[in-house]
Amino acid sequence: MWEQSKKLVKTILEQDWARGLKVEDDFWDKVINWVEESFLPRFLEQFAKQVDEIIEINPELSEPEILTKVTKSMVEFLGAHSATARIYDPHTEKMLSYGSYPYWEGNREVGIPLEGTVAGEVIKTRKTYLVPNILEEKLYRNKGIIKQKEVNSMMAIPLEIPRFFPHERDTIGVIQIYYPENNRKFSSLEIQFAEVMTRRLSYVIARKKILSLYRINEKKEAIVRKVFQKLGAKEGVKMKDIFNSMIPEIADIINIQSCALFSVSDNMKYVVLEAGYPEKEGYHSIGKSFKINSEPVFDILVNRRDVESDSPYEIITPSYILVIDPQKSSMVSDNVKRFARKHRINSILYIPLTIGDELTHFMTFDALDHRQRYTEDEIEVLVFLGRELMKAQRMERLDDILHDFKNPAIATAGFARRLKQLLDQKGIRKDDPKIKRYLNILIEETSRLQEMALSLYQIGKERVINLTEILKNRFEINQEAIKEQLKANVILKEGPFKDPLYVKCYPLHLERVLDNLLNNATNAIPLKGGLLSIKTYQEGNWACAEITNTGIISEEERLRLLEGEGSGRGIYITYRIVRLLKGKIEINVGRETTTIIVKFPISPPPPPENDNSSQ
C-alpha cells in the first residue's frame, strides 16, 4: 500500500488546485494514512455490504422482483431518486419493463423501441450512457413522466447475462438510475460502483437460471412419471386423467382456468379439439372441429403467417402467441371474447407443437392472470407438456381401437368357421343364400377392422345414416359373439323399430357406440340367462336406440355410468363418442332389467344419389 500511497500523493500534487498549497511536509502523508486507516475500510465495508445484499437475493424470486430489489439497493447506495430495469426482447425488438424502485410500473410503457432511445443506445454500444439534463436529451422520449417524477438527470448502465448453452442467446438489458439534480456531473467512482452492482446482478440471474434448469428437469420428470403411471393403469390411457394429473405440475407457471389440445387436419383447413381441461360441458366439446378461418389466431398459427403488429394486446413469437388482453385483441373472435368474459380469462397463450417442420397440434392455456409475457423456461415446460399429451392422445386412441377390435374380430372368426363348415358339407354353391350372407358379413367386418385401424390417423367423413339399420346389423354381429363366448340361455328380442331413423355422424363412431353397449349389456346378463332386446323410436327431435338386458345395477353405479366412469373401458369410449356426436345417454333400472338409451339429433333424409348414366 505504501508504494500506491506515494503515487497517489504525487498525482494529487500535479493537480492545478493542489499546486501552491502551503501545508506541512507530512500533511499529505497524514491525509493518505487517514484515508487508508479510517475512510477506505468503512467505505469499502459499506460497498461490500451493498454488493453482498445483491448477491444474496433469493433466486427463487421472479426476475421482476429480483430487479426491483437490485434497483432499490442501487438507489439507496448512490443517493439517487429512483431506478428502472428493462430487458431487450428480440422477438418484439422492444425493451420490456421488468422492474423499478419505487414501483413505477403503472405509469411506465410496457415496451419501448430499440431505435432512437437511451436504452436502445446502451444495448447497441454496451456502454454506460450519461444524461446530465433529461429535457435536453433527444433520445429520451417520454419527458412527461419525468416531469411528474421530478427527476432531471440519469445514467443508464448496460446489463449483460451470458448464455448457458450454445443454442441460447445472451440476455441484455439496461438499468436506468435517475437523480433530481439538473445538469448533474457524474463522478467516475459512482459510475464504477453502479457498473459493479449491475454485474453482480448478472450473478443473481445466473443462479436463478441454474435453479430454473433444475426445476424444469423436475417438472419434465414429473410429467413423464404421470404418463407412465396412467399407462400402467388397468383401464388404460385416459386423456382426462392425464390432464387432471398434469395440470398441478404447471400451477406455479400459470394460474390456469382451462387448457386444450388441438390437432390440425391434413388439408390444414380445420382444427379438432382432442382433449381439454376441465373436461365438462361449457368448456370443451371434445372432437368438435373448427374452421381455421374462424379464429384469426388459428390462421396465424397454422399457416405461419408473418404478422407485423404494434398492438399492445398481443405478443407474436416463433415459439408462442400470447393474447395479453382478449377483450381488446383483434386476434380473437367475438365468441372467444364472450367465453373469456364469462370465465374471467385475462390472457390466452397459444403454443404450436411440431413434428419436424410440420405443425400437427397446438395447445391453448387460458389464464386468470394478466400475463405480459412468458419466459423461455416456462415455454419450454409447456411445450414439453404438449408433446407428452400428443403421445398420450395417440396411445388413448390406440387403446380405444384395441378394445373395440374384440367384437368384429370374434364375429369374423365365427362366421369364417361357419362358412368353412358349410363349404365342407355342401361345397361351393352359387345359389346358397347362407354362403352369400356369410361372405358379405366377413367383407363388412374385415373392412370395419381396417377402418378402425386407419382411424388412428383419421375418422372418415360424416354421413347421414339409418340408426335402425346400423343397430340391427350390430345386434346380429353381437349375436355371433354370444355364440362364440358360449353364453347360454340368452333370449334375443328385436323391435319395434322406427325405420328409417336418420342421424348424421361418423358411421364408425356410431358402430363403436352400439357395439360397446351391446357387449356390456350381454356381459351383464346373469349366468342363468336372461333377455337382451333392442328397439328404436323417435322422441321429438331425437333419434333413440334402446338396449335392455336382464340384470340390475345400483343407483351409485348408474350415476357413475352416466358420467362415463364405469369400471370397463367400453363405457368410457361410449361416453366420449356420444358427446362428440352431440348426443346423450339415459339409464333406467327396472325390477329385473337395466335399459340404456342413446339419443342423437334427428337428421333429414340423405339426398338421393345422382344418376350420372345419362350425362
Residue-wise pLDDT tens digits, 347-399: 888 888 876 677 878 888 888 877 777 777 777 777 777 777 766 666 666 66
401, 417, 451: which is the final residue of a domain?
A: 401
| Residue 429 domain flag | no
Does residue 79 fall inside a structural domain? yes
Residue, of 411 and 523, whose pLDDT is higher: 523
pLDDT category, 457, cuts 50, 70, 90? Answer: very low
**How far is 204 from 223, CA to CA, in rounded Å?**
28
Co-location of 286 and 320 in the same domain? yes
Average of pLDDT values for 551-578? 72
Helix (H, G, I), strand (E, B) or coil at 213: helix
Q: How confident is the model at residue 414 (pLDDT cuts 50, 70, 90)?
A: low
What pLDDT does residue 419 have?
66
Sequence length of the chain is 615
Cα angle, residue 241 at apex, residues 236 and 242 outer, rounded to 5°: 90
pLDDT of residue 613: 40
pLDDT at 514: 87
What is the per-residue pLDDT for 388?
72
Distances (CA, A) of 424 to 410, 417, 418, 429: 21, 10, 10, 11
- The residue behind cell 387432471 is 244
- Say which CATH number the domain at 568 has: 3.30.565.10
Query: For residue 325, is it within any domain?
Result: yes
Most confident among 27-31, 247-251, 320-324 (mean pLDDT): 320-324
Query: How many CA within 13 A on the CB side of residue 343?
Result: 22
Flag whether pLDDT at 46 surpasses 60. yes
Contact between 89 and 108 under an 8 Å Cβ cutoff? The reply is no
Q: Dig out the grid coordinates for 343 from the structure.
A: 370465465
Residues 368 and 468 in one domain: no
Which of 156-160, 163-167, 472-476, 486-490 is the least confident region?
163-167
My answer on whether 291 and 359 are in the same domain is yes
Q: What is the mean pLDDT of the chain?
A: 77
pLDDT for the residue 213: 72
Between 53-67, 165-179, 302-316, the lowest mean confidence (pLDDT) is in 302-316
Q: Does 76 map to a domain?
A: yes
Q: CB–CB of 519/525 below 8 Å?
A: no
Cell of 117: 432511445
Calculate what percentage of the chain has a pLDDT beyond 90: 10
**pLDDT, tens digit (0-9, with 9 covering 90-100), for 200-231:** 887 787 788 777 777 777 777 766 666 665 55
3-state secondary structure at position 328: coil
Distance CA 146, CA 130 (A): 16
- The answer to whether position 376 is within a domain reads yes
The arithmetic mean of pLDDT across residues 61-82, rounded, is: 86
Same domain, 296 and 196: no
Specify the pLDDT at position 439.
65
Nine cell digits for residue 546? 334402446
Mean pLDDT for 36-57 is: 75
Three-state DSSP class for 567? Answer: coil
Higher pLDDT, 30 or 132: 132
247 and 190 housed in the same domain: no
What is the tens place of the pLDDT at every residue in 495-515? 899 988 999 887 877 888 888
Per-residue pLDDT, 535: 92
Domain identity same for 145 and 261: no
Percent share of the chain, pLDDT over 70: 72
pLDDT of residue 174: 92
* Same domain assignment for residues 475 and 591: yes
Per-residue pLDDT at 470 exceeds 60: yes
Collapsed DSSP state (helix, strand, coil) of residue 548: strand
Do 232 and 245 form a contact (C-beta atoms < 8 A)?
no
- 3-state helix/strand/coil string of 117-180: CHHHHHHHHCCCEEECCHHHCCCCCCHHHHHHHCCCEEEEEEEEECCCCCCCCCEEEEEEEEEC
Query: What is the distance of C-alpha 307 from the center of its chain?
Result: 22
Which of 543 and 40 is assigned the larger pLDDT?
Answer: 543
The answer on 111 and 243 residing in a single domain is no
Q: How far apart are CA 107 and CA 583, in angstroms?
A: 52
Residue 408 in any domain: the answer is no
Pairwise pLDDT comparison (224 vs 457), residue with the higher score: 224
pLDDT at residue 450 in the model: 54
Domain-ending residue, one of 210, 241, 261 = 210
What mean pLDDT comes out for the span 132-140?
90
pLDDT at position 575, please?
A: 76
| pLDDT tier, 156 (very low <50, low <70, confident <90, very high otherwise) | very high
User: Which range among 374-378, 596-600, 610-614 has the greatest average pLDDT?
Assistant: 596-600
69 shares its domain with 200: yes
Burial of 397 (0-12, 13-18, 19+ CB in 10 A): middle
pLDDT tens per residue, range 362-373: 888 888 877 777
* Cα dihedral 351→356→359→362 (10° resolution): -30
Q: 388 and 262: one domain?
A: yes
In this structure, the answer to whether residues 484 and 566 fall within a common structural domain is yes
Residue 39: DSSP 8-state: I
Cis amide leading into 278 (omega within 30): yes
Residue/partner pairs of 603-611 with CB below 8 Å, 24 or more apart: 603/464, 603/502, 603/503, 603/504, 603/543, 604/464, 604/502, 605/464, 605/500, 605/502, 606/463, 606/464, 606/502
Q: Provide the residue range defining the domain that includes 86.
A: 57-210
Kindly report, residue by residue over 398-410, the tens digit of the pLDDT. Answer: 666 655 566 666 6
In a domain, 114, yes or no: yes
* Whether pLDDT at 283 is above 60: no
Q: What is the dihedral of CA 477, 480, 484, 487, to 10 degrees?
A: 110
**Digit-coded pLDDT (tens) for 511-546:** 888 888 888 888 888 888 888 999 999 999 999 999
When pLDDT is cut at 50, 70 and 90, the band that residue 280 belongs to is: low
Does residue 145 carry a pLDDT above 60?
yes
Q: Is residue 216 part of a domain?
A: no
Among residues 354, 380, 401, the one where a domain terminates is 401
Total domain count for the chain? 3
250 shares its domain with 382: yes
Range 401-404 contact pairs with CB under 8 angstroms and sequence separation of 24 or more: 401/452, 401/453, 401/455, 401/456, 403/236, 403/569, 403/570, 403/573, 404/452, 404/512, 404/515, 404/516, 404/573
CATH code where residue 156 lies: 3.30.450.40
pLDDT tens across 293-332, in order?
888 888 888 877 666 666 778 888 777 888 888 898 888 8
pTM of the full structure: 0.49
pLDDT at 203: 79
